[in-house]
Amino acid sequence: MISVIYAIISAILIIYLSFEVIKTRRKLRISVGDGNNEALQTAQGAQSNAIEYIPISLLLLFYLEYNGASNWIVHLAGVSLIIGRVVHAHGLLKGSLPRRVLGMQITIYVLVGLCLLNLAYLPWEKLLAL
């Protein structure tokens, strides 16, 4: 299954972002909350944003593959998702607003594309059969 590759890569990205939060917490000696610290808030924001967007994207990617989309379409959507998430996380962690915006644009376009592709690949004849 192709979508598993992108689930693994996404999990690695989330693990990396989790370690960024842990590293920042240790450096600042903040065990709970964010201590009103911008660096910790930024690290937490990058992690939580990934956790918000990746699961639904992977679910849609899986269903696209399950419903019979061509392998190249699944790969294109998966690669685009990963690029969007990495660009966004990098932009957020490094304070680059243009990269943050680009990463979110890519992510949203992928989500919209996955929704439309899933509608196109749904087995409508089975769903509408009584």
Confidence of residue 99 (pLDDT cuts 50, 70, 90): very high
Q: What class is the 2-122 domain?
A: mainly alpha
Judge contact between 92 and 17, C-beta under 8 A: no
> pLDDT per residue over 35-92, tens digit each?
898 999 999 999 999 999 999 999 999 999 999 999 999 999 999 999 999 999 999 9
Q: Where are the domains of the chain?
A: 2-122
**Can you tell me which residue has the tokens 């689930």?**
7
Sign, CA torsion 84/87/91/96? negative
pTM: 0.92
**Which amino acid type is present at position 29?**
R
